[in-house]
Homo-oligomer: A and B are copies of this chain.
Amino acid sequence: MATNTYSISDLAKEFDVTTRTIRFYESEGLISPARNGQTRVYSDTDRVNLKLILRGKRLGFSLSESKELINLYDPVSGNKKQLQTLIEKIGERRRMLEQQMKDIKVMQHELDEAEARCVEAINNIV
């Protein structure tokens, strides 16, 4: 496993966000890059976490929700009770994702219908 590092603008370009955005995520505690003096140095882990955040964003997750998600993937540390709580949270997420799945399928179906109406209307014109 090559231990790559990235500058802030590397990641900004790769994921098409501004450096401001990446620094903001850090200030909110979602990423914790190393430092070379003042300069931030991002690891593969940081990069993956950023990826997680942005995937969360595409699904309408808030940053604090994404933060929880990141913590779910963290090294498992804690007692039994904490682990149970984690499993419950995972269950919640799963239920949310399933609801979103349903929503998407319904929408796709509706888009099909909408497109069909459009096509028909065009045919009626021509």
Which A residues fall within an 8 A CB radius of B? 55, 57-61, 69, 72-73, 76, 78-80, 83-84, 86-87, 90, 93-94, 97, 99-101, 103-104, 106-108, 110-111, 113-115, 117-122, 125-126
Contacts and interface: CB of A to CB of B under 8 A. Distances in A.
Contact of A100 (B58, B94, B114, B122): B58
A107 B93 contact: yes
Nearest to A121: B76
Contacts of A60: 57-61
Contacts of A122: 80, 83-84
A59 B78 CA distance: 33
Nearest to A126: B80
B93 A111 contact: yes
B107 A104 contact: no
B118 A80 contact: no
Given A90-B118, A111-B90, A115-B87, A58 B97 contact: no
B97 A55 contact: no
Contacts of A78: 121
A2 B21 CA distance: 51
